[in-house]
Amino acid sequence: MRIIRTKDYNSMSKIAANIIRAQSVMNPESVLGLSTGCSPLGTYKNLVKWYEEGELDFSKIKTINVDEYKGLTKDDPQSYAYFMNENFFFNININIENAHIPNGMAQDPEKECKRYDKIIESLGGIDLIMLGIGPNGHIAFNEPCEYFTKGSSLAVLSKDTIEANARLFDNPDDVPKLAYTMGTQSIFMAKKIIMVVNGEAKAEAVKNSFLGPITPQVPASILQMHNDFTLIADEAALSKI
C-alpha cells in the first residue's frame, strides 16, 4: 500500500486524475471502475479539462460504477447516474453504452445484481478503480458487517451512511435506504486501486481502515492486502495517522 500525502483537495484531485490519465494513455481500451461523491469530483474536473484540451481520448474506454441508490431514476439529480453524466460522461467522448452503472429502477434486485456481475465478468475485470470512503469505512456501499461481500448486492444503508449522505439532499428523509453496490471481492480484483480522501471528517475512517486490523467491520481495511493500492489523501484526512 502506498500513501500519497497532498497539501489540499486540489492537489489530491490532480494526482488522482494523473493516474487515471496515465492508465487511459497506456491502455486506451482500459476498464475503469468509478465512484461518485464530493471526493472524486475534482478528479473528474481535471480529466474533463484535459479532454477538452485534446490530451485524452475516451472513445474506447469502458467504465463501471461502484454503486447506485435503489429507487432513483437516472434523471433524478440525486442519482449516481445523473452525477456521472453531468460531471463526466456527457463532457467527454465516451460511448455511453460503454459506461455502466447499476439500474436503480430495476424491478428485480436479484436479477439486477446478477446482471451487474455479468457485466464485470464480460469486461474481463477492472484495470483501475477509483474509490472514496464513507465515514464508517465503507467502500462503494459495502457497509460494516460480519463478512466481506463477494458479488453485487442490494445493501441496506446504515444509519451513519444515511446521516452522512443527507447533506446532499434537501430533505434528510429523502435519502434512499437501499442501494446497489459492487461487491468487495469485485473491487479487490481490480488490478490497481486508488482511493481519494480529503477532510478531517474522514481522518478516523482512514486511521481505522489503514492502521487497524483487517476486518469486515471496517470494509476499506481489506485494501491493506491489495498489491497495488494507493491512498491519495490530504493532510486533514491523514491527521490521525
Q: List, by residue number, the catalytic residues.
A: 67, 136, 138, 143
With CB under 6 A as the contact rule, the residue among 23, 30, 35, 46 that binds ligand GLP is 35
Distances (CA, A) of 37 to 78, 115, 221: 11, 24, 20
- Ranges within 39-58 binding ligand GLP (CB under 6 A): 39
206 contacts 215 by C-beta, under 8 angstroms: no
183 binds ligand GLP (CB under 6 A): no
141 binds ligand GLP (CB under 6 A): yes
134 binds ligand GLP (CB under 6 A): yes
* Closest CB 96 distance from ligand GLP, rounded Å: 21
* Piece in contact with ligand GLP (CB under 6 A), picked from 33-41, 82-90, 101-109, 184-192: 33-41
Pick the closest to residue 117 from 184, 32, 40 (CA basis): 184
153 binds ligand GLP (CB under 6 A): no
Task: Report DSSP letters for 70-121, one per residue.
Answer: TT--TTSTTSHHHHHHHHTGGGS---GGGEE---TT-S-HHHHHHHHHHHHH
Give me the residue label for grid cell 457485466.
119
Minimum CB distance to ligand GLP smaller for 14 or for 60: 14
Element of type H or E holding 229: strand 229-234
Contact residues toward ligand GLP (CB under 6 A) are 35, 37-39, 66-67, 132-134, 140-141, 161, 165
